[in-house]
Structure 1
């Protein structure tokens, strides 16, 4: 499956990183660049359940392509979610269902840093994206 341009650029950046410390710094930077959600979007209806951290997700369909926005109260999760958004934004519902989360984070060189709870949380975010995509 073709990667969205922003995801391909992020992948190259992470693959060029020299070791875990640099990737961790990059992860935080990607999280810091995540556009803020309005407080009105940080409501129970948009909260992703299954994450230990607070994560809110909103999505809208634009010309058959999904655009998601998200926020988290945890810096590491914000970075991971930012990278997930790069991977999925611009995809159609069918493509969204084919996203392989473990493979994406493995390519980025971040899979070893995904604790089971973080992995479960990111899977919950992706599941919520798919739920949104199939209900509209």
Structure 2
């Protein structure tokens, strides 16, 4: 049930044989994301459980889930970009049906991220689920 944007990322990852190339691609995805207005980087938008600073603010429009996100670490901002590709544009009621661990597993991230980064990624997925549930 992945979005076309996420499928594009998965396709790109399938062509990158080396994890270092994938790592660079994640960083580039983060660099391509627009910066979040610092005024929105407040405790209410902060994701708890991440080693880096991460902020996610929902942006629901016409019943479709979207969010603005940012991080103070490039690799983490890239992970935020991947999650954005996975969830943006999905009907709010269907966000919970996305099997994020399985979809992210297709990218092979878990086996190459540190334990702290993996925990942070799970915290971001959990926070997105909470935001969608609140909006539903």
Q: Same fold (TM over 0.5)?
A: yes
Give deviations 1:85-136, integer Å, cap 9, x for gaps.
1011111233211222322222113221122221221111111112111222
Distance 2:46 2:31 in 1: 20
Q: How many residues align?
A: 135
**Unaligned 5+ runs, structure 2:** none
The corresponding residue for 1:10 is 9
Measured in 1, the distance between the counterparts of 2:3 and 2:99 equals: 14
Q: 1:58 deviation in Å?
A: 0.7
Matched ranges for 1:87-126 at <5 A: 87-126=86-125
The CA deviation at 1:15 is 0.7
Aligned residue for 1:65, secondary structure, equals coil
* Gap regions ≥5 residues in structure 1: none
Distance 2:118 2:17 in 1: 23
For 1:5 and 1:73, the matched residues in 2 are separated by 27
Normalized per residue, the structure richer in strand is: 1
TM-score by length of 1: 0.91
Instruction: Tell me the TM-score normalised to structure 2 length.
Output: 0.91
Query: Which residue does the alignment assign to 2:20?
Result: 21
Runs of 4 or more above 4 Å deviation: none
Structure 1 range deviating more: 107-116 or 25-34: 107-116
Partner SS state of residue 66, structure 2: strand
**Does the residue aligned with 1:113 lie in a helix, a strand or coil?**
coil
* Structure 2 CA distance for aligned equivalents of residues 130 and 106 of structure 1: 18
Secondary structure in structure 2 of the residue aligned to 1:40: helix
- The answer to whether 1:127 aligns with 2:91 is no
| Aligned mates of 1:45, 1:98 — CA distance in 2 | 25
